[in-house]
Structure 1
Amino acid sequence: MLRIDVPRLRRGVLATGLLAALAGCTAPPAGHAPVGPPAPGASSAPPGFEAGLGTGPPAPPPSPAPSTAVPPRPSDGESVLVTDFERAAAGTAYGTEQWRSDGWGTPWELGMSGRTATSGAVAHSGGTSLRVSYPAGKIGPADSGAQAPFALEPRPEYHVSQWIRFGEGFSFGTTSFAGKVGLGLAGGDSCSGGQVCDGTNGFSSRLIWGRDGKAAVYYYSMGHAGAYGDAADLVTDGEQVFWPADRWVNVVQRLRVNTVTGGRANPDGEIEVWVDGVRAAHVTGLRFVSNGDRVDTAYFSSFAGGGDASFAPRTDSEIFYDDLEVATGWPGTAAPAR
């Protein structure tokens, strides 16, 4: 049965074990600028999701009131980066140079050259998409999926849109379940990986999967609830969103950085997520920065996460991505708002 649920907002309710599992594999290759390295002295948390995404959800929170918000129209902004993966022939490895040829500049990558390639098997538009591989028995971006930070002109707000299709029979884990999905947003030093976000070391916000493909947005901001980041379930029409297999899903994320007054972070930062044009999460009252940092990175971060082999896929798995876009308003390649 196809399930595309965009869960209820639940800030900080995912257990430390879950967030630790997602946080443990974010460091870039040696010699490169950090994007969310583990905090000095940070302890490793036990594997597993003790609530929400892992061993089973807790009692569900109350359903949110139906949203009447209407996303901004395409005319509200302009496309900054966009790729449909049509430039390269099917079967082409999509490493750093391929991304740079599409205008997406990155100083480093993990897995792009070896575990991504254009595919003619399925496409949201045109004839090709990007296939990302998640080998059986492997976890972390060094051995699973792919990761790369793409530079953006610093701005207080961006939207990012992507079409996502989990392959048939995708394995979300073995006995524990965690992983990151596709393209997110970050700024400054991209606080993540168990760091304490102090307002001067950046922030990050990415999509994740959990048990049975449960979907959520996972973010690092000042004062996060536990040792790791917070998460908000994706929920549409009162139903939890689960990543479906063999179906294209459009996800749009908007992140707006908080304002700063006299070196003090004001609690007016926001994250919004839409699934197939329906708002699935809206987190308000966030403090990301106390300095001049803005959104300056479109952060592709997608891999099977966790602290041990229990999080590894049982079988070789794949996710397809198409029509990726970063825009200053509602992206033109996104599903229409409903």
Structure 2
Amino acid sequence: MSARAHDARAYWVLEPGRGEIRSEPLPAPGPDEVLVRALCSGISRGTEALVLRGEVPPDQYEVMRAPLQQGDFPGPVKYGYLSVGVVEDGPAHLLDRVVFSLHPHQTRYVVPADAVVPVPDDVPPRRAVLTGAVETAVNGLWDVPPLIGDRVTVVGGGMVGCCAARLLARFPGVEVTLVDVDAARAPVAEALGAGFARPEEAKGAQDLVVHTSASSAGLQTSLDLLRAEGTVLDLSWYGTHGVALDLGGTYHSGRLRIRSSQVGTIADARRGSRSMADRKAVSLQLLRDPTFDVLLTGATPFAEVPQVMADVCEGRLPAICHVVTYEHEEGT
């Protein structure tokens, strides 16, 4: 390790619309802690856009804190939760292991040893940044699992929606369609083993619709695609944006259901038998599937994060999962 191994650089949102990289000292790890050198991290566009724009509702400040967040909404706040790195110091069983952590974008960090999960040797670090998105999809499908032979649509072709589509495509007999306003998602859907449709082309009479677009239009489309007694599994977080729905059609007569799911707690169906660490381990095992690589749509050195974060979150840089790399940060 270099003489500056215990210094770090981290991305902070200082105030709505403005982020920067800050230097900060790191403490030496304690007996139950690890020092991790980041290899890569992922930008979670939906959630991080709300944070960057200052659109976290005040009454949700505590609920929506990331596990290893520093600072408070709306800023200054160090936010993020898709980090992969290598353990440079810590317990022997973790030393030199590649691990996933729910840590913000930072070159090095010290966290409790139980806050990292080893990445399987056959899962590349860049693919492992998808762990948080796969975990969100896993938790949602624990909340509302499909049945064999179901017709299922995923509305919203972002990172979580695409991860859900891939998992659903592996259920026996399940017919999966990815719906998005962007026709460029069609080849992605095909790679994931799903069909593709724009909203106006999507087939109705669906048994289950997974909604991830975080928009009123997407949620309305999801309801409109259901069969009678069908369920919308809503994985979206809307922040301060209100949601307007037309419930005057078949919502009541068709006995339609909207079921929310949130990754901050274990789904009720598994709460007594699975821990957060168990759920992460399952997600990392699922990421042995190389198909997920289609979701890694670009990479940027850490030094460029402030501009790239703004470009990704405002849609100027199209991305499903944009990866931050740390190869040029060895001196920090």
Using structure 1 for the length normalisation, give the TM-score.
0.24
Higher strand residue share: 1
* Structure of higher CA gyration radius: 2
